[in-house]
Each structure stands twice: as C-alpha cells, then as structure tokens.
C-alpha cells in the first residue's frame, strides 16, 4: 500500500469532527498538488482520493494557516461585473441550511448549531434540532429535496468527541416554510440505521428516494481500510438496497464512493471515485472517475460493478489538480465538478474552479466559477434543480463561503471561519 495510508486514515477520521464541533478545516491547493505529484510518481490515484473523500463531508485536514484576514466585503470574481440575482427570483433558493461551530478555546465544549438562514440577508430563521432524547446527537448531514423539503440525519453517539461511537442514525424529513420556519418533522420509512455513521446523503427532487454513504459507527482502528457502503431507501415503502464497497483484499483494486448524487427519476446513482489498491508496490490505472449504478433502488450489489460514466483524466487536465466533488444534473445530462488546482496542466497559478462537463464524457468544458489564487476547499453543494451552487473556498487572506451567481461568489453568513458546510 502507498505511503499515504496514514494520511488517508487521518482524513477519514475527520468525518466525525462535526460531532465534536471542531473548527473549520480545509484542503489546501498545496496538499492536492503534492498528492497529484505522488500519484504520478507511484502511478496511483490514492493520494487524491484521500483528499476528495474527506471533502465529501465539508471538512478536511490541512496545515494550519496564518490567522485569517478580514472577510471580503463584496462578491468575489475573476471576471467582469454582472448583476446579482435576487433570492427568490430565477430559481435562487430563498433559504439555506448551515452547520457552524464557535470554538471555546478548549475551556468547554465548542458550541455548534444547524440553522436555516435567509439567502437575501443571512438572518437566522430557524434552529434545527433532532427530535431525539439523547445527550449526544449529531445534527448532520442534511440533503435538499424539491419545494423546500429537506432530509436530516440525526446520529446518536456515546459522547461529544470526534472518535465517539455512533450507536444509531435516524433520517428525518422536514419542510421550510415561506417565512423560513421548520415544520413537518417526521421519521423516514426505512431510515433507522443501527450502528452506522452517515458520511453524506443525497435525495431525488421529489424526495421519493434517498441514498447515504455509511461507515461502521465503531471507528475501527484500520478505518482507512474500511469500505463504505451506500444504502438507497425508497421513502414511500421503506425498502432498502445496499451497495457494498469492495473489501481491501491484497492486490485488488477498489472503487470507494467519495460523494453521491441521484438523477430526478432515481434511476441513476452517481459517485466520484478513484482506484485504490492495498498491497506494497501495487499500481492502479485510470485516475479519478465518475461511476454510475443503474436502478440503485433495485436489489443492491457491489459498487465495484458500477459502470464508468466519465474518466475525468480524459476530459480534464488533472496533472496539477484534483476533483473534490461531482454532482449529476436531475436529467443526467451534465456533471458539475468542484476542482482544486490549475486545469492548464501547469503547477501555477493556484485556483479553485467549478466547471460543467457533459455526462457523456465529451471534452467540452464550461466554467461556472473560478477563483484565481484560490488555495483552499471545504464544501460544495447544488440545489435540487442543479442550477445554483454553494461553495466553501478561500485565499491566503482567509476562508470564503457563498453562492455562485453569474460567475461571482456572493458571500453568505455567518462568518466563514465558523462554517463547516452549507446546503440548499
């Protein structure tokens, strides 16, 4: 196995940082570049895969930077000035859900909260709390569905630490009203997941189908070698289908999911991945790719059997970059990718980009947003129609969070230094 095993294990363990209310962490461009260089030298994609896997929950390990500078007072853009779309118009969601943490310098437990905020003003409209009677409950992840409906995972743990055992995860559905209030909380059929840690969750726009990446809640010591599964739930019947990650058998190549999304009809489950193998001196081929499971709610099976949708190295120049997130459009025609590093093939200048490519894998690239001198990444999410995006990034001056609008990043509250992840 490659020398990056320890790094992968460390990054997997930050999946539970949200439980402990850990401060914001980001992947740095330098870390991605070092991973790409190692991958190139070793003919292995494991280094970048480790970085991408950590980013799927909106937090990742990176070297601590200098004290962040002041927040940008206006939209961040690398292009010409354009008008800003008013929330509620042209499909821009009126509300977003944010997970934030306020560190207490180690004197007491960090104060964490999950809130609904108005896109136009950033004002808090509601606090989201899990309807569980337990001392330690993780109120995340959250996935949007259409018509201001959301799915929430409530994870009951044995303590507030990042390594605490997750006893069970329960999935709930709730609705955000026109005034931003939370109503209609109810458990999802088939949504009680005993002994499992939920890394991320995705939903179809009508909410009839959800998918979740899960790990054992016991935090095994060899977490980096623990394959994740994907559980697909029909929310109308509660019937589940389980897609298993291949075990890390010596010499075998595995394709473990780093994030997931669903088409509107629920007929395709798409996941970002990269080949990994677990044997000294073994090599992998193909680099980062997007794979697809057809009819994921039917029966279940092995994730390694999923077909290749797009070989990303064929479409993008990833010699000095890495794809951190991938989201399929509702109709399955387009993939939207969050990319760290330069796509020119050169080691500089640094940048963070959001690009779109055809789902067919054709070499046709459209830039949605590009942050020159971008050197950090923490999260990326799309609204149910796949038209509007939230991004957590940063420069040497500090972190930046916001919504992408006409090629610009419009800052959103709260202060980005306390934000872990946002969805809408």
Predicted confidence (pLDDT) per residue in 128-170, tens digit = 999 998 999 999 999 999 999 999 999 999 998 878 999 999 9
CATH of residue 36: 2.120.10.30
Packing angle of the helix pair 46-55, 29-42 (nearest 10 deg): 150
Predicted confidence (pLDDT) per residue in 308-335, tens digit = 999 999 999 999 899 999 999 999 999 9
Per mean pLDDT, which range of 21-30, 191-200, 306-315 is the poorest?
21-30
Which pLDDT band, with edges at 50, 70 and 90, does 349 fall under? confident
**Phi (first) and psi of residue 53, to 5 degrees:** -60, -40
Say whether pLDDT at 81 is over 90.
no
Whether 150 and 144 have beta carbons less than 8 Å apart is answered as yes
Q: How far apart are CA 327 and CA 334, in angstroms?
A: 8
pTM of the model: 0.85
pLDDT score recorded for residue 236: 97
pLDDT, greater one: 195 or 38 = 195
Ranked by mean pLDDT, the top range of 127-131, 348-352, 362-366 is 127-131
The alpha carbon torsion through 274, 278, 284, 288 (nearest 10 deg) reads 10
Which pLDDT band, with edges at 50, 70 and 90, does 96 fall under? very high
What average pLDDT score do residues 179-200 get?
97
Closest CA to 352 of 334, 337, 335: 337
Which pLDDT band, with edges at 50, 70 and 90, does 284 fall under? confident
Q: Are strands 275-277 and 259-262 parallel, antiparallel or unpaired?
A: unpaired
Which pLDDT band, with edges at 50, 70 and 90, does 249 fall under? confident
What mean pLDDT is reported for the chain?
A: 84
Which pLDDT band, with edges at 50, 70 and 90, does 118 fall under? very high
Predicted confidence (pLDDT) per residue in 256-269, tens digit = 999 999 999 999 99
pLDDT score recorded for residue 104: 74
Q: How many domains does the chain have?
A: 1
Instruction: Give the chain's end-to-end CA distance (angstroms, integer).
Output: 39
Q: What percent of the chain has pLDDT over 90?
A: 65
Say whether pLDDT at 37 is over 60.
no
pLDDT score recorded for residue 36: 47
pLDDT score recorded for residue 219: 79
User: Residue 350 is part of which domain span?
Assistant: 5-423
Which pLDDT band, with edges at 50, 70 and 90, does 31 fall under? low
């Amino acid at each position: 196995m490659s020398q990056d095993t320890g790094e992968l294990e460390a990054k997997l363990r930050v999946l539970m940082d949200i439980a402990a209310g850990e401060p914001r962490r980001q992947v740095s461009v330098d870390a991605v570049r070092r991973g790409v260089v190692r991958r190139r030298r070793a003919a292995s994609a494991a280094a970048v895969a480790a970085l991408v896997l950590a980013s799927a929950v909106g937090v990742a390990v990176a070297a601590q930077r200098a004290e962040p500078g002041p927040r940008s007072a206006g939209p961040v853009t690398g292009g010409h000035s354009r008008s800003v779309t008013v929330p509620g118009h042209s499909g821009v969601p009126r509300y977003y859900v944010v997970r934030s943490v306020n560190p207490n310098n180690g004197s007491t437990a960090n104060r964490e909260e999950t809130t609904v905020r108005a896109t136009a003003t950033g004002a808090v409209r509601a606090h989201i709390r899990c309807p569980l009677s337990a001392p330690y409950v993780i109120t995340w992840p959250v996935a949007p569905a259409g018509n201001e409906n959301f799915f929430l995972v409530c994870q009951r743990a044995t303590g507030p630490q990042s390594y605490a055992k997750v006893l069970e995860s329960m999935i709930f559905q709730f609705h955000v009203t026109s005034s931003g209030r939370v109503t209609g909380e109810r458990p999802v059929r088939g949504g009680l997941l005993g002994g499992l840690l939920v890394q991320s969750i995705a939903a179809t726009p009508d909410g009839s189908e959800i998918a979740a990446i899960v790990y054992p809640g016991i935090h095994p010591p060899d977490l980096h070698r623990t394959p994740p599964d994907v559980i697909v739930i029909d929310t109308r019947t509660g019937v589940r289908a389980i897609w298993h990650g291949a075990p890390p058998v010596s010499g075998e190549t595995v394709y473990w999911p780093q994030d997931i999304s669903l088409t509107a009809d629920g007929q395709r489950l798409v996941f970002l991945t990269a080949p990994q193998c677990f044997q000294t001196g073994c090599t992998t081929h193909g680099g980062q790719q997007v794979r697809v499971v057809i009819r994921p709610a039917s029966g279940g099976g092995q994730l390694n059997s999923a077909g290749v949708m797009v070989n990303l190295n064929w479409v993008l120049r990833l010699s000095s970059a890495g794809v951190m997130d991938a989201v399929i459009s509702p109709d399955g025609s387009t993939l939207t990718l969050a990319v760290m590093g330069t796509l020119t093939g050169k080691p500089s200048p640094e940048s963070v980009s959001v690009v779109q490519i055809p789902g067919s894998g054709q070499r046709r690239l459209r830039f949605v947003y590009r942050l020159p001198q971008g050197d950090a990444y923490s999260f990326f999410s799309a609204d149910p129609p796949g038209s509007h995006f939230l991004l957590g990034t940063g420069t040497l001056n500090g972190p930046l969070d916001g919504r992408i609008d006409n090629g610009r990043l419009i800052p959103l509250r709260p202060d980005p230094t306390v934000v872990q992840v946002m969805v809408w």
